[in-house]
Amino acid sequence: MTRAQRISALKAAARERVLVLDGSWGVMIQRRGLAEADFRGERFAAHNGQMKGNNDILCLTRPDVIAELHDQYFAAGADISETNTFSATTIAQEDYGLDEQAVWDINLEGAKLARAAADRWTAQEPHKPRFVAGSIGPLNKMLSMSSDVNDPGARGVTFDQVYEAYRQQARALHQGGVDLFLIETITDTLNCKAAIKAILDLEDEGLEPLPMWISGTIVDRSGRTLSGQTAEAFWNSVRHAKPFAVGFNCALGGELMRPFIAELSRVADTLVAAYPNAGLPNAMGQYDEQPHETAHFIEEWARSGLVNIVGGCCGTTPEHIRHVAEGVAGVTPRAIPERPRAMRLAGLEPFELVA
């Protein structure tokens, strides 16, 4: 299929059923017990500093591991698999001393690996096409919050720097063949705004526009993102981008995330997506929630008409995704609400003025 045909198939599938995203990449990579040499490969053998822990670099140094993980998630029932590029921006990769060319290559090869896996599974099961989401994760620097407790105005980066980092990433993912962009685990809505603009501006270069999925993170039971917004305020802040889907991921497990997904489901006039962690981490930072437990929460969301796309974040495995896919199979996806025409604004709280 051409990319236009894949996008059309993706939108058609979303009307027919609850779509399933893959699960955690970090936990599965950790289980492989890879050594420093695996992360370095030949290309980075003499690179200064530690490379272990930079999971994105495995797109270049251990592509076999990444390809196998895509296959595992597609085999488990995922409709969509993410590229292994969560931290593949020039800003985030400064921690590992990688240059712009290396970051470009990570995104390009990450997209190609996912594309190849999706195409293989689509060829095997034409009735269930598989899709690739270009993962665009958060940064280690925020535009909305100070980098210095003694200086509220201090920032570690400028908007232009964040915009350019995201634009480079999006361009490489696009070239590698992704079907949609997934701006995920958003803690800072202003960083997200830079990513949105970077993606929209690709059209100025003559690149085919792709669907955009925006996924924020609620940090605790207060129901706010790290930069302080409620679920509805967050939606009001990003609605102008007309995303294919909006939702939340990470941070909270399914049990605690439900009220915030319900709130987003009420106000968002687009698809709603949710992929929680496997519960909250234990004292050792591990996730104990079993696949059937995670699936139980997500299936209830689906049967309650709250979601259109589901999956798993930290701690979830192919077995979690298998249970999730089985739980939502045959469930009617959420109906997108028609909301009255109004002026809707957002700071930390939403503001609505109905005509």
Residue 192 assigned to a binding site:
no
From CA 355, how far away is CA 342, in angstroms rounded?
A: 6
Q: How many CA atoms does the CB half-sphere of 66 hold within 13 Å?
A: 27
What is d(CA 317, CA 340) in angstroms, rounded to the nearest whole number?
A: 40
Which among 163, 123, 169, 127 is positioned nearest to 143, based on CA atoms?
Answer: 163
Does residue 314 have a known ligand-binding role? yes
Cα separation, 134 vs 176, whole angstroms = 9
Is 313 known as a binding-site position? yes
Tokens of 180: 């949609």
If you search the block for the tokens 């099961």, which residue do you land on? 125
Residues marked as binding for Zn(2+)? Answer: 250, 313-314
Residues marked as binding? Answer: 250, 313-314
